[in-house]
Structure 1
């Protein structure tokens, strides 16, 4: 069985954009009024020219 590498090679240089900071927490979703009626993400159907379309 081949051993797994636990260290980077000596010649490896860390890119300038790498950081050890944790990823930022996601922001809460904002509720927005739907100007065309019911939200398709909530009810599962889009209405286009009077016809319900389900993806």
Structure 2
């Protein structure tokens, strides 16, 4: 069994766009009414030309 690497190689250079700060907290979704009816992200179905479709 191969041991898991726990440290980066000595020649590793951190890219300039990497930061050591934690990821920002997620923003809660806006609770806006759906102008076309039921929200497909809540109910799981999309309606197109009167037909409910699932992805």
| Same fold per superposition (TM over 0.5) | yes
Q: Please tell me whether Structure 1 or Structure 2 has the larger radius of gyration of its CA atoms.
A: 1
TM-score range relative to shorter protein: 0.5 to 0.7
TM-score normalised according to structure 1 size: 0.63
Q: Which is further off, 27-36 or 5-14? A: 5-14
Equivalent in the alignment of 1:14: 14
Q: What RMSD in Å do the two structures reach over aligned CA positions?
A: 2.3
State the aligned residue count.
Answer: 54
